[in-house]
Amino acid sequence: MNDDKSTAPTNFIRNIIDKNLAANLYANKTWAGQPGPSKTHKNASIDAAKIRTRFPPEPNGYLHFGHAKSIILNFSLAQDYGGRCHLRFDDTNPEKENEEYVKSIIDGVHWLGYKFQDEYENNLYYASNYFDHMYDAAKVLINAGLGYVDKQTADEIRINRGTLTDPGKNSPYRDQSIDDNLQLFEEMKAGKYKDGEMVLRAKINMASPNINLRDPAIYRIRHVPHHNTGDKWCIYPMYTFAHPIEDALEKITHSICTLEFEDQRPFYEWVLKKLAEFEFFDKPLPKQHEFSRLNLSHVVLSKRKLIQLVEDNYVNGWDDPRMPTLVGAKRRGYHPKGFKLFMDRIGVSKSDSIIDYQTFEDAMRDVLNQECNRKIAVLNPIKLIIENFDENHTEICTVPNHPQKPEEGNREVKLTKELWIEAEDFEIIPPPKYFRLFPGNKVRLRYGFVVECTDYELDNEGHVTTVYCNYFPETKSGTEGSDSIKVKGNIHWLSTNFSKEITIRNYDRLFLSENPSELDNFLDDINQSSIETKSAYCEESISDVKTGEQFQFERHGYYIVDPESNSDEIIFNRTATLRDNWQK
């Protein structure tokens, strides 16, 4: 599974990096060991990191599968090219961000298996720690006549921005003197003005066909305390201005973001080019590259919709195993290695795409098959009584913990006269090609004996309650006679005397249609049977299991111990079923 080197990730971003490296673009790039403008890095040594990438989340929500794509992309690039990947909180909007999200994001990145700190560097950064630099950068622009304080209202600015087809109109404050702008900007910072009263704008071109270049706002007034800087600031930079600066301060080489920022790239480049002209930054400057975000079928990934699912209680919180969040994935039993395999398989490109959920699930199965030891569980029990079996006898059966990994060892399971088997493993009138139990048919009790069905019993409603069999003592698994009777069917079982009751939560997809986001109301599309809770029997060896432990219940699927388990009740969440090629 990990020898998936045939699918060796090659994508347009790697091609760009290869080309940049071949051109020796970063040969003279210095790094002072910490972020800063050109003066910080000026006399520093050559950066040991061949490239620098970053994952820059805004701490205003929980990480989801889409973030996982970006995290894995950026960190694996840094890993593969001998570089570094920074985790940077893009916390420039105090109204939405908080520490709780910061913590959960750090946990999520760690959970996926990535480190951003070691004995050499600690690459955990906050955009809010750069506010002084950003303020300085804004003044550089103002001094160069490239920035002005606009007293128009938000509405006026919007109207004067023009439309997609009509050019905008210059602000009456556009030609204010540099000194006035400087003074106004300082007064903004000093708290002299109210929220929204004025804004600092870059002076570019109000007639640009690219709306992002029509004198974008770069600083706004917000008298709101910040989770990191407290009351120090009442003006905050806009993302479009802050982001290129953050990247340049951190000497990022490849600034990778999603497609919707493509139109923003000219401004990103404008900011850096101007600041480099005034020696605020050194070359090489970071370059922005865009890839298409992850879309998964049968899933919603927009923050707004995710919040709705949680707040309106369609799911039980952000870590509900049905949620496409990282905390949900962890609780569902999705494995970090599975995420990486999945990302390798789907690649990175610029085309919009919707990936089958099946592809994701299949990558998980691949990983889980390797990672999980096996257990036996009977989920839908009916009784099987071996008529010719001594009711005082207990037969010890040896069971391998992992069929492909003998080094995982064996365990013992006890077989007695009265057993639980799956209701699905018996049919009164078998469908074509059915090779499990039916009257007259022989089947192997996995790891035990071959039995032949002699009779069965029904309840008042016609449901099978008990199946009667005779066993063939010479056919015990692992003995010479085990092959003396050939059978096709092979079913699992548990002694009614030696089994433990557990709780099972079988999860299924949360949405019925392929693309719920396209629907008028995605909430109508919720799968009402996305969770099924039931009690089941499991082998005794399950008793001392711990939260987070994962197993394959043979012939069923992959299960993980839920945190809500306690000494009285062990709860298992179904991560995924096994593939099933058998159709009736």
Q: Is residue 569 near RNA by the rule CB under 7 A?
A: no
User: Minimum distance from CB of 163 to RNA (Å)?
Assistant: 4
In the chain, the amino acid numbered 311 is E
Nearer to RNA, 51 or 343 (CB): 343
Cα distance between residue 218 and residue 199, in whole Å: 8
Q: Residue 563 CB, nearest distance to RNA (Å)?
A: 26
Number of residues that bind RNA (CB under 7 A): 92
363-324-542-504 Cα dihedral, nearest 10 degrees: -110
Give the pair of three-digit tokens for residue 24: 């020796």
Among 315, 348, 504, 571, binds RNA (CB under 7 A): 348
- Per-residue burial over 86-125, b if 16 or more Cβ lie within 10 Å, else e, is bbbbbbbbbeebeeebbebbbebbebbebebeeeeeebeb
Q: Is 293 a catalytic residue?
A: yes
Tell me which residues in 4-23 interact with RNA (CB under 7 A).
6-7, 10-12, 15
Q: What DSSP designation does 119 have? A: S
Q: Return the range that interacts with RNA (CB under 7 A); candidates 355-363, 415-423, 504-512, 529-537.
A: 355-363
If you ran DSSP here, which 8-state letter would residue 130 be given? G
Two tokens at 372? 């999980």
> Rounded to the nearest whole angstrom, what is the least distance from the CB of residue 44 to RNA in the complex?
28
264 contributes a contact to RNA by CB under 7 A: yes
Provide the CB-side half-sphere exposure for 176 (13 A, CA): 23
Among positions 136-155, residues that touch RNA (CB under 7 A) are: 152-154
Closer Cβ to RNA, 263 or 457, answer by number: 263
Residue 175's contacts (CB-CB under 8 Å, 6 or more residues apart) are 148
Q: Which residues, numbered 22-81, are part of the site for RNA (CB under 7 A)? A: 56, 58
Instruction: Choose, by CB under 7 A, the member of 392, 460, 566, 581 that binds RNA.
Output: 581
Does 287 bind RNA (CB under 7 A)? Our answer is no
Q: Does residue 444 interact with RNA by CB under 7 A?
A: yes
Examine residue 163 and tell whether it contacts RNA (CB under 7 A): yes
Q: Name the minimum Å distance from CB 578 to RNA.
A: 4
Task: Determine the Cα–Cα distance for residues 8 and 344; give it in Å rounded to an integer.
Answer: 8
In terms of CB distance, is 359 or 465 closer to RNA? Answer: 359
Is residue 325 within 8 A of residue 60, CB to CB? The reply is no
Amino acid identity of residue 274, one-letter, is K
Nearest distance, CB of residue 104 and RNA, angstroms: 16
Say if CB 526 and CB 314 are below 8 A apart.
yes
Exactly one of 477, 515, 527, 541 binds RNA (CB under 7 A); that residue is 477
Q: Which of 180, 262, 387, 532 binds RNA (CB under 7 A)?
A: 262
Residue 407: active-site member: no
Determine the Cα–Cα distance for residues 286 and 17; give it in Å rounded to an integer: 12
Residues 134 and 131: their CA atoms lie apart, in Å, by: 5
Residue 45 Cβ vs RNA, minimum distance, rounded to whole Å: 31
Chain-centroid distance of CA 425 in Å reads: 37
Nearest-angstrom CA–CA distance, 451 and 429: 18
Q: Find the part of the chain contacting RNA (CB under 7 A) among 43-51, 239-247, 497-505, 523-531.
A: 239-247
Q: Please identify, using beta-carbon distances, which residue of 31 and 233 lies nearer to RNA.
A: 233
Q: Is 423 in the site for RNA (CB under 7 A)?
A: no
User: Is there a contact between 235 and 192 (Cβ–Cβ < 8 Å)?
Assistant: no
Judged by beta carbon, residue 49 or residue 443, the one nearer RNA is 443
State the CB neighbour count (10 A cutoff) for residue 197.
12
Candidates 151, 174, 303, 383; catalytic one = 303
Which listed residue (76, 93, 104, 573) binds RNA by CB under 7 A?
Answer: 93
Q: Which of residues 302-331 bind RNA (CB under 7 A)?
A: none
β pairing state of 499-507 and 571-577: parallel
482 makes contact with RNA (CB under 7 A):
yes
Please state, in angstroms and rounded to a whole number, the distance separating the CA atoms of residues 494 and 378: 7
* Residue (310 or 413) nearer to RNA, CB: 413
**Restricting to residues 359-378, which ones interact with RNA according to CB under 7 A?**
359, 362, 365-366, 369, 374
Q: Residues 435, 468, 472, 498: which binds RNA (CB under 7 A)?
A: 435
State the Cα–Cα distance between residues 376 and 379, nearest whole angstrom: 10
For β-strands 490-491 and 442-445, DSSP reports them as parallel
Q: Report 390-409 residues binding RNA (CB under 7 A).
A: 402-404
Whether 28 and 67 have beta carbons less than 8 Å apart is answered as no
Catalytic residue among 151, 161, 174, 293: 293
State the minimum distance, in angstroms, from the CB of residue 445 to RNA: 8
Residue 126 pairs with which residues in a beta bridge?
A: 89
| Cα 492 from Cα 422, distance rounded (Å) | 8
Binding of residue 345 to RNA (CB under 7 A):
yes
Sign of CA dihedral 102, 510, 369, 446: positive
Q: Is 434 in the site for RNA (CB under 7 A)?
A: yes
Specify the stretch interacting with RNA by CB under 7 A; choose among 1-9, 98-106, 466-474, 520-528. Answer: 1-9
Least Å distance, CB 136 to RNA, is 18
Residue from the set 190, 259, 428, 458 that interacts with RNA by CB under 7 A: 259
Of 315 and 576, nearer to RNA (C-beta) is 576
According to CB under 7 A, which residues from 166 to 205 bind RNA? Answer: 195-199
Question: Judged by CB under 7 A, which of 22, 23, 164, 396 binds RNA?
Answer: 164
Nearer to RNA (CB atom), residue 262 or residue 569: 262
Q: Which residue is listed with tokens 């499990």?
A: 436
Residue 377 in tokens: 């569980």
374 CA to centre of own chain: 26
Q: Which residues belong to the active site?
A: 58, 293, 303
